C-alpha cells in the first residue's frame, strides 16, 4: 500500500532467518512487522528493529490482526515450528486473503503437508543445503537443477562415471526413457554444448536432461554404471 513499490510484509518468527530477512526488507524500503512470541528473543531484536517488531504468538488471529494483516501484501512464516508456519500461512491466505505467502519448512518430511494445505511456495533449508552438497560433490549422483512442479518438468544434471553404460555411445543411439530429453553436455575443456545425434558420450561428461517428475530413478540407472552407483 502507498509509497512507490514498498510493500507491507509481516514476518512470523524473529529467529536468525526472520531477523535478517526483516533487516534486508527494511533496507530495501519495505514496511515490515516481525512477530515473535519468545520474550527474550523479542527484547533482543527489539533493540534494533524497534517498532518493526511486535510481541505475540503469530498463530493467534488477534495478534495477526493487531499487526495489520488485512493490509499486508505478503506474509512470511519462518518460525521453528512447521505446524505454526502452516497455520499462519493458511489463515493469511484463506481468511485474510493475503496475496503472497512464503513458508519455511523446518523438517523436510513435512513438505507433503504444506502441499496438502495448498501452502506454497515453501523453503526448506535442508533441501537447499542438500542440493548444494549434490552440486559440490557430483559423485553424489543426480543433481536437481530446477523443479517446475506446476509445469510438471524437472531439469537434472548427472556425471557419467567411468563405468557408465552410455559412455562411448552415440546420442542418436541412446533411446532415452520416454518423458526425458538430453539437452546439454558439460565436458572438461569444451564447456557446455548442445549434443547432436552424432555426439559420442564420454565418461566424465556431465549431462543435463529435462524430464517428467518421477523419472529420476530410471534416468539414474540409464546413465549409471552397470551395478548401480551411490544413492
Partner 1 sequence: MFVLIVGCGRVGSSVARTMLREGHEVSCLDEDPEAHARLEVNLDRSWEDTGGQFTVGTGLEEEALTAAGIERADAFIASTDGDNTNIVIAQIAKRKFNVPTVIARILDPLRAEWYEKQGVNTICPTRVAIEMLEKEVLEAAGDGTGAGSASGAGTPTS
d(CA 179, CA 49): 50
103 within 8 A of 89, measured Cβ to Cβ: yes
**66 lies in the site for partner 1, by CB under 8 A:** no
Helices 16-27 + 39-49 axis angle, to 10: 20
Q: List all residues 6 or more positions away from 190 whose beta carbon is below 8 Å from its beta carbon.
A: none
In a 13 Å sphere around the CA of 18, the CA atoms on its Cβ side amount to 31
Q: Of 102 and 208, which CB lies nearer to partner 1 in the complex structure? A: 102
Q: How many whole angstroms separate alpha carbon 197 and alpha carbon 189? A: 21
31 vs 37, beta carbon nearer partner 1: 37
Task: Mark the segment that binds partner 1 (CB under 8 A) among 59-67, 157-165, 180-188, 223-231.
Answer: 59-67
Joined together, the cell numbers standing for residue 219 give: 534416468
Query: Smallest distance, Å, CB 59 to partner 1?
Result: 5
Number of residues that bind partner 1 (CB under 8 A): 19
Give residues 180-199 in contact with partner 1 (rule: CB under 8 A): none
Among the listed residues 36, 82, 154, 205, the single contact to partner 1 using CB under 8 A = 82
**Residues of the shown chain interacting with partner 1 in the complex, contacts defined by CB under 8 A:** 59-62, 81-84, 86-87, 91, 94-95, 109-110, 112-113, 116-117
Amino acid at each position: 500500500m502507498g509509497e512507490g513499490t514498498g510493500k507491507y510484509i509481516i514476518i512470523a518468527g524473529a529467529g536468525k532467518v526472520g531477523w535478517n530477512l526483516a533487516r534486508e526488507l527494511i533496507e530495501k524500503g519495505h514496511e515490515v512487522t516481525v512477530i515473535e512470541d519468545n520474550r527474550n528473543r523479542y527484547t533482543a531484536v527489539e533493540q534494533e528493529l524497534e517498532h518493526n517488531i511486535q510481541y505475540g504468538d503469530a498463530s493467534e488471529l488477534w495478534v495477526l490482526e493487531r499487526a495489520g494483516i488485512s493490509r499486508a501484501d505478503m506474509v512470511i512464516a519462518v518460525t521453528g515450528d512447521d505446524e505454526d508456519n502452516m497455520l499462519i500461512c493458511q489463515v493469511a491466505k484463506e481468511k485474510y486473503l493475503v496475496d503472497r505467502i512464503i513458508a519455511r519448512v523446518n523438517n523436510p518430511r513435512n513438505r507433503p503437508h504444506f502441499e496438502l494445505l495448498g501452502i506454497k511456495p515453501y523453503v526448506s533449508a535442508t533441501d537447499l543445503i542438500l542440493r548444494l552438497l549434490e552440486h559440490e560433490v557430483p559423485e553424489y549422483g543426480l543433481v536437481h537443477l530446477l523443479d517446475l512442479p506446476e509445469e510438471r518438468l524437472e531439469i537434472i544434471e548427472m556425471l557419467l562415471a567411468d563405468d557408465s553404460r552410455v559412455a562411448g555411445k552415440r546420442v542418436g543411439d541412446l533411446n532415452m526413457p520416454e518423458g526425458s530429453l538430453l539437452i546439454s553436455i558439460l565436458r572438461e575443456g569444451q564447456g557446455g554444448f548442445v549434443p547432436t545425434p552424432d555426439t559420442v558420450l564420454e565418461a566424465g561428461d556431465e549431462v543435463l536432461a529435462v524430464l517428467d517428475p518421477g523419472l529420476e530413478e530410471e534416468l539414474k540407472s540409464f546413465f549409471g554404471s552397470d551395478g548401480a552407483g551411490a544413492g
